[in-house]
Amino acid sequence: MTFRLRPDRLASMDTQTINLDTKSVLAKLIATENISVQHNKVKTASFDTKNRVLTLPVFKQPKGDVYDMLIAHECAHALHTPTDGWAKIADDNELRSYVNVLEDCRIDRMIQKQYPGVVRNYINGFDLLEKQNFFGTHGKDINKDYMLIDKINLYYKSSKRLPFIFSPKDVSWLSKVDALKTFDDVVNLAKDILKWQKKQVEQLKKLPDFDSHVIAENYNLNQDDEDGEEVESKKSDEKTDENDDKDSGDSEEAENNNEDKKESGEQTAVTEEAQQGGGEGVAPQKLLSITNESLEDKKSNLYDGEKSYSYFTLPNTNLNKVIVSNKQFLKDLRSYAFKEIKQYPNASGTYYNWLKTHYKEFKNDNKKTVNYLVKEFEMKKAATAYKRASTDKTGIIDPLKLPSYKYSDDIFKRLTILPDAKNHGMMMLLDWSGSMCNILKQTVEQLMNLIWFCQKVNIPYEVYLFTSEYGGDDRRTHSSGHFEYKYGDVTLDKVNLVCVASNKVKKTELDESLMWLYHMALAYDDRYSGSYVFGQKTHEGEMFYMPHNYYLGTTPLNQALIAFEKMIPMFKNKNKIEKMSLITLTDGGANFSFGNTMGDEGVEVPTDHGKPVIKVGKKQYTVVDEGRYYSSDIYTGLLLDIIRQRHGISTIGFYVTKKLRGYDVERFARDCKNWEERYKRTQKIKSSLSKEKYASVDSMGYDKYFLLNGKKLKVENTDLSNIKDNMKSSGIARVFKKSMKGRITSRTLLNQFIQEVA
């Protein structure tokens, strides 16, 4: 009898592709606890009982019912099958095959009893697999062509729906299968069935037509005689060799060797192979479940052998160590500067006085433009609010409209409602890495204009420079105490966030902070370009430097974002912010710092660098299309996505590029379909950088991402020096117009921020 599916049955089966995150939830529900679920390049499920991590295989094309069935089955194995139990029977293939079938019966019954909702998945899942001949049953009679172990396998995997005709003895075995409670019960029953089955095979061998019997053919039992002949042949050959040795005078030595082997309990290779029932080059005869072997062999084709994942959780940030307060920043710079001034009063003292004067002049020069942009911002904000305004009837009769009651029912007063303005806020990360050296002056000038604007319009803000250098040379160790680790956390290099500006800082202290920030930018600019321009010194006196803590280093942007994940909700709650912007300003990708995770007992464990999955709270986050981005961009973008989704903020990125070479900007056109499209996109970006000083591009994790032309970052103010005495009015107007336009458009950072918050 051949089992076939009903066509109407197949038509109703669920074959929807299922999201891995959804399956993780299903696995957690089945596991009855909030365990960590990981999908990876494995072929069997495993459960780490200590760290509560369930690892499941990844399938190429997961289908609804089949995948649900496999998830439930693997969860049941991981939770109820002891891993050390298999070790005891690892060398016995026959027993292992029987145990595998019976253990599936036991754990599937347990999971279906505990979660009745998966019963339907098991039924549909089996039907789909059987239709694709996963069990090798097509063309076979399920009652005549199989041994008992395969009948048990098919009967229970089909949820007892296949039309088997069991003998009274078979029924007694089935009752024992139904009574299985523990894994030890499974092993004992497997031994009993295997022993009984071997006796049945011995009886079968007595039949005259045994070699052509369907059971013998299906299980390769008709190879026994050939194996026996080969073994006997080998025995005969060995005896002949021994006789030859004796004839040649070596008989005494051969006899001594045999005696030594007998005393030590060893057997000759011929004797051992004869006991196993096979000869050299011939596999020993085994009684295996051929339907289970077929299932496992074909199920391996469902596994995705390419896709792998790297799972991380984020460590807790020790903010006391990570954050350098504004007071500490001022203390560090004051102490260093006053020490220099005391030691070199003429040289350093002269520079210090020049610095204070020069910073004040720079601030005053920019104040007019900032005030103009503030007014423009207020007008734009008011216009936007008016655009969103709604007019509603009040329910109160307007006496002036009463005369029109005969032809219009609109006789009620109307009320114009303006939407409430949202409370904005801004947090910013400034890259303090070595590659920023030659553009820090222009970048800091842009930043200060943004800070003065926020201060003027009362937008709460905090600005941090992120650095790897603060505190010494221990930056490349996870034991610095900046992050507190548990099992599964990604291990990180340290980072420090130096608060250089905040709306909570007093006005005098803010001015001093910005002056010291400006000084450091000037120092690096002086170091890069020299202190003389066209033969003239750019500053008075001798410029002093800065503490070692503020030297430029690497780019620990990812570490800074992990710290911000904790800081942002604190900032929002403290300032009652409704619309929050996170701004990053860098000139390169972050350090690739997601290489290891924390293992047991504080030992770092390397990852396989698969597709990253970061778990925060009860949710897991991963990348949709990692092929579009560089590896460092993936982790940065993923962290930004986590922050955006968890805290409801917008993210704005500024990337300073110093050269407009094609391969420097084509990374932002990696999603193009072909080289021609990529070239056009690259040229468009380069053109925008040249003409507009910036280009808007897409970057993972950012709502808006801007490339800034590092050569044109200089902040411009009103410059009427080109006006000559003999100029006509049209020429004067042209110079004035160009100057006014330049002072607005040159503040790229501020302009884009205004567009975001207006």
- pLDDT tens-digit series, residues 274-295: 333 333 334 445 789 999 999 9
pLDDT of residue 480: 75
Residue 462, φ and ψ in degrees, nearest 5: -145, 135
303-325: average pLDDT: 88
CB-based contacts of 149-152 (< 8 A; 24+ apart in sequence): 149/97, 149/98, 149/101, 149/193, 149/194, 149/197, 149/287, 149/289, 150/101, 150/289, 150/290, 150/291, 150/292, 152/101, 152/102, 152/105, 152/177
Mean pLDDT (the chain, rounded): 77
- pLDDT tens-digit series, residues 600-648: 877 888 877 788 888 888 788 888 765 555 566 888 999 999 999 999 9
Contact 17, 63 (CB under 8 A): yes
Mode of pairing for the β-strands spanning 604-606 and 596-598: antiparallel
Secondary structure letter of residue 320 according to DSSP: H
Pick the closest to residue 54 from 68, 33, 75 (CA basis).
75
355-370: average pLDDT: 89
Tokens of 706: 């801007």
Residue 423, φ and ψ in degrees, nearest 5: -80, 115
Percent of the chain whose pLDDT exceeds 90: 34
Lowest mean pLDDT among 166-175, 390-399, 572-581, 654-663: 390-399
More confident position, 494 or 377: 494
Percent of the chain whose pLDDT exceeds 70: 71
pLDDT of residue 547: 94
428-445: average pLDDT: 90
258-277: average pLDDT: 38
CA dist., res. 675 & res. 369, Å (int): 43
Q: In the chain, what are the domain boundaries?
A: 7-163+289-302, 351-373+422-717
Of the candidate CATH numbers 3.40.50.410, 1.10.1380.10, 1.20.1250.20, 3.40.50.970, the domain formed by 351-373+422-717 belongs to 3.40.50.410
In the predicted model, is pLDDT for residue 483 greater than 80? Answer: yes
In the predicted model, is pLDDT for residue 192 greater than 50? Answer: yes
DSSP string, 250-282: IHHHHHHHHHHHHHTT---HHHHHHHHT--TTS
